[in-house]
Amino acid sequence: MSKVVIANTLLLITAAIWGFGFVAQVMGMNYLDPYAFIGLRFLLGAVSLIPVIYFVHKRMPFEVTNKRELWLGCAVLGVILFIAGSLQQVGLLYTTASNAGFITGTYMVIVPILGLILKYQTGVNTWLGCFLAAFGLYLLSVKEGLTMGYGDGLQLLGAVFWAAHIMAIDHFIKRSPALLLAFGQFLMCGILALCVSSVLETTTFEAVANAVNVLIYAGIITVGVAYTLQVVAQNDTKPTHAAIILSLEAVFGAVGGALLLDEALSQREMLGCAIMLCGMIVSQVTWSDLVGPKEDNSSQNQA
């Protein structure tokens, strides 16, 4: 089995883990309030990365040339992650896991739009993908009277911060080791969430004990394991192909909502989901990806 096939399989597993993670987030709030769940989830994710960091560092020691840049990256990424995670988690109180999965997935087309601010080039496929995603979002979320549900609105705002998170990662990943950045941002996010929880919420040990199974999946599996799988897989596949496969987390979120939470989508909502998924894929695929690189015939012509 080739490295590319293995990488694509790992990415598909990652997308499935993240998709079903929306179900775990909904179930977690049967026991814990949103900020307590976020805090414990990301602290568990940080702890789960410790053995990974240890073994990776043992084989290939990390080179931290600028500790100040590392600390700054962890802080910035942690704050953005906290905001995005909070909007997503609180939004799940007012919408379904299926809707949350697809609306969160719009970060795939928001990223290039934010890139315009940084003067990144944006192709026609991106704008077509944005149009399809926006139309799909309209069918999925906009109700009669042209109003959007409160929960869906929070998910959409959260998608903007997930996109900002990706842009921030792109900036800091060039300056610091990826695993250390991941650990630092998870730790920062977890601490911020627990601080907010201590002021706004009341959490008991009994509630935490009842939520252990869900926390293990949402924290260790979706944060620690899935992130590690993504890093390993992206060593052997193109970023564009990886993004396409990872966007399937929205589909797995819908499947998980239907199987485990008895959520049902209307025909209009299913059509909206399908169009949004098409938009996500179109925004990531260019003509060169489909036809492949042009052959260089210059040497043949000279011969």
Predicted pLDDT at 285: 66
Q: Classify residue 107: in a domain, yes or no.
A: yes
Q: Classify residue 95: in a domain, yes or no.
A: yes
For 135-189, write each residue's pLDDT tens digit: 877 776 666 655 678 888 999 899 899 888 878 887 887 788 888 988 999 999 9
Listed range (23-32, 159-168, 262-271) with the worst mean pLDDT: 262-271
What one-character-per-residue DSSP string does 184-201 give? HHHHHHHHHHHHHHHHH-
Q: What is the rounded CA–CA span in Å between residue 25 and residue 31?
A: 11
Q: Classify residue 296: in a domain, yes or no.
A: no
Other C-beta atoms lying within 10 Å of the C-beta of residue 150: 13
pLDDT band at 254 (very low <50, low <70, confident <90, very high): confident
pLDDT band at 190 (very low <50, low <70, confident <90, very high): very high
Q: Classify residue 78: in a domain, yes or no.
A: yes
pLDDT band at 52 (very low <50, low <70, confident <90, very high): confident
101: domain range?
3-285
Nearest to 243 by CA among 97, 109, 125: 109
Q: Classify residue 84: in a domain, yes or no.
A: yes
Q: What is the rounded CA–CA span in Å between residue 172 and residue 125?
A: 27
Q: Which residue has the tokens 């907010």?
A: 196
pLDDT band at 216 (very low <50, low <70, confident <90, very high): very high
- Whole-prediction pTM value? 0.79
Q: Classify residue 221: in a domain, yes or no.
A: yes
For 69-111, write each residue's pLDDT tens digit: 999 999 999 999 999 999 999 999 998 887 888 788 777 777 7
CA dihedral 242, 245, 249, 250 (to 10 degrees): 120
Q: Which residues pair with 143 in a beta bridge?
A: 147
Q: Looking at the 3D structure of the chain, how many domains does it have?
A: 1
Residue 21, pLDDT above cutoff 80: yes
Q: Classify residue 135: in a domain, yes or no.
A: yes
